[in-house]
Amino acid sequence: MSDAVRFPDPNTEIETIPLEIDRLRRSFENGRTRPLEWRREQLKRLIRMHEIHADEFVGALQADFGKPTFEAFTSDVSQGKLEAKSALKNLKKWTRPERVGGLPVMGRARVIREPLGVVLIISPWNYPVGLLLSPLAGAIAAGNAVVLKPSEVTPHVSAVLAKRLPEYMDPEAITLVEGGVEETTVLLEQRFDHIFYTGNGQVAQVVMEAAAKNLTPVTLELGGKSPCIVHEDADIETAARRIAWGKFVNAGQTCIAPDYVLVHESREEALVTALGKAVRDFYGDNPKNTADYARIVNRRHHERLATLMKDGTPAFGGEVDDDQCYVAPTVLRDADDESSLMRDEIFGPILPVRKVRNIDEAVQFVNSREKPLALYLFTKDGKVEDDVLSRTSSGGACVNGTLFHIMDSRLPFGGVGSSGTGAYHGRHTFETFSHRKSVLTRGTRFDPKIMYPPYGEKLTKFVKRFM
Ligand code: NAD
């Protein structure tokens, strides 16, 4: 057994996980989490925890994988706070029964959002604060009791979460279980009312299988190979800067990072040159020396990337430093379409660039693979934009940019097919953790006997005119 700390009692043993879930279920069934006042209070506390301990989280992210301060704060530590603020501001609106128009004779029709119950949130290591606490904000707003399972791959962050959350959140309804496969396996044996999992596809199968036993609904936020298509009319300088930024932020360890580039053959040389310039502008001549470039999370992933590097010819980059788990921002050419580099999610700072003759070839290439989490297209032509969007399927898409679509919380964020099931962010997170209950309240004054058996021919004839 791992020496994981569990909240609320650090000495809790793995065997007590089922009791812990039972305790939460009792809280939920007693109605503890339903009042809007409870939800508001928890959201406020979550915001306060972010405000007071932001630097501690940033420090933990640096200890775990050298995440640059700016990136740690903007792309990870602030995310849960922004979601909690938005939920707090909109709670009344989101929870208001939704009136539905229709025939008044039927009665008063409305949709009520009700909490699901006890929900489990399992998160990964690449944005280990935000990917745990953003869904938490929506789950609280929807009135659920919540079990949180952070990633063991980033132990410093996990320890800060285990220490700080119980100081702020209601321990009768929100609990955190640290640990790895062993703890998650025990958790998945319990009955939940929803499981929200972010991570890789193989573990998603384990999660889905466990959920199926209790018919528990799941949200699966997964990954895949997100393509970048650069059309011949693209503004190459801007495209290169935006692709390089989206790829090398967090050293490529981003679920929606551009995985590979399909560029029109006439612009390949210019694009690769511009990518090289963008990387020098961002990180200087030796990115190892800048504080603005992260490290690979652990040796296993570092070695995986060092091996993938061999699948292509470096146009620039290519250096690895095993001691520091450093992989340089790298652009590769000449990778075989069937190589691991072009088949598996790269999840690191290696960008293969492949020439295509035209948009049709790019679309065909994308469609010959699993549906990606994001698709990026660089073009000035609205017709090309419509054409590519209508002929490909991806979780989301961003035209003339990378990653930015995830920052707009009006947009649901999620995958399709093997890149995920369900979506969240902003109101969509609240909806994910709510059941939409349809309710019809009928009047009692109007109750014609003709509607009841025996029906008679007259009624049948009358009804046939409308149906
Ligand atoms: P990870 O190794 O931290 O695993 C994720 C979670 O699954 C952890 O909490 C871990 O404890 C648990 N887990 C691992 N093995 C398990 C098992 N056998 N049984 C039960 N639980 C288990 O993170 P990861 O999966 O390496 O994360 C990277 C992947 O996540 C990439 O594919 C990336 O694209 C994807 N991702 C997706 C999103 C998104 O929002 N769609 C965001 C971030 C990462």
- 237: domain CATH number? 3.40.309.10
Residue 324 lies in a domain: yes
Domain check: are 260 and 374 in the same one? yes
Q: What pLDDT, on the 0 to 100 scale, is given for residue 4?
A: 47
- Report the catalytic residues: 221, 255
What CATH number does residue 214 fall under?
A: 3.40.605.10
pTM, full prediction = 0.95
Domain check: are 63 and 196 in the same one? yes
Q: How many CB atoms are located within 10 Å of the residue 354 CB?
A: 21
Q: Is 173 helix (H, G, I), strand (E, B) or coil?
A: coil
Residue 455 lies in a domain: no
Which tokens go with 186? 């025990």
Q: What pLDDT, on the 0 to 100 scale, is given for residue 208?
A: 98
Domain check: are 156 and 250 in the same one? no
For residue 124, report the distance from its CA to the centre of ligand 1, in Å.
4
Residue 449 lies in a domain: no
* Residue 354 to residue 346: CA distance in whole angstroms: 15
Q: What pLDDT, on the 0 to 100 scale, is given for residue 2?
A: 37
Domain check: are 96 and 213 in the same one? yes
Q: What pLDDT, on the 0 to 100 scale, is given for residue 11?
A: 55
Of 378, 396, 414, the one marking the end of a domain is 414
Domain check: are 22 and 54 in the same one? yes
Q: What pLDDT, on the 0 to 100 scale, is given for residue 460?
A: 87
Q: What pLDDT, on the 0 to 100 scale, is given for residue 458?
A: 83
**Number of domains forming the structure of the chain:** 2
Q: What pLDDT, on the 0 to 100 scale, is given for residue 449?
A: 84
| Nearest ligand 1 atom to alpha carbon 151 | 9
Residue type, 168: Y
Residue 448 lies in a domain: no
Domain check: are 115 and 249 in the same one? no
| Nearest ligand 1 atom to alpha carbon 199 | 30
Domain check: are 375 and 426 in the same one? no
Residue located nearest, by CA, to atom 42 of ligand 1 = 255
Residue located nearest, by CA, to atom 8 of ligand 1 = 151
Residue 366 lies in a domain: yes
Domain check: are 410 and 421 in the same one? no
Residue located nearest, by CA, to atom 24 of ligand 1 = 199
Residue 465 lies in a domain: no
Domain check: are 410 and 422 in the same one? no
Local mean pLDDT, 10-residue blocks, the chain (467 residues): 45 83 97 98 98 98 95 96 98 96 83 98 98 98 98 96 97 95 95 98 98 98 98 98 98 98 98 98 97 96 97 97 97 97 98 98 98 98 98 98 95 98 98 97 87 86 86
Using CB distances shorter than 6 Å, the residues near ligand 1 are 122-126, 131, 149, 151-153, 180-181, 184-185, 198-200, 203, 206, 221-223, 255, 345, 347, 373, 415, 420
Domain check: are 144 and 172 in the same one? yes
The domain in which residue 122 lies consists of: 3-222+417-440
Domain check: are 143 and 218 in the same one? yes
Q: What pLDDT, on the 0 to 100 scale, is given for residue 9?
A: 54
Q: What pLDDT, on the 0 to 100 scale, is given for residue 8?
A: 47
Residue 81 lies in a domain: yes
Domain check: are 15 and 137 in the same one? yes
C-alpha distances (whole Å) from 69 to each of 63, 66, 80, 96 are: 11, 9, 17, 39
**Which of 153, 200, 300 for mutating ligand 1's site (highest number of atoms within 8 Å of CB)?**
200
Task: Find all residues with CB under 8 Å of 213, minimum gap 6, and list them.
Answer: none
Q: Is 355 helix (H, G, I), strand (E, B) or coil?
A: strand
Q: What pLDDT, on the 0 to 100 scale, is given for residue 88?
A: 98
pLDDT in tens, 253-299: 999 999 999 999 999 999 999 999 999 999 999 999 999 999 999 99
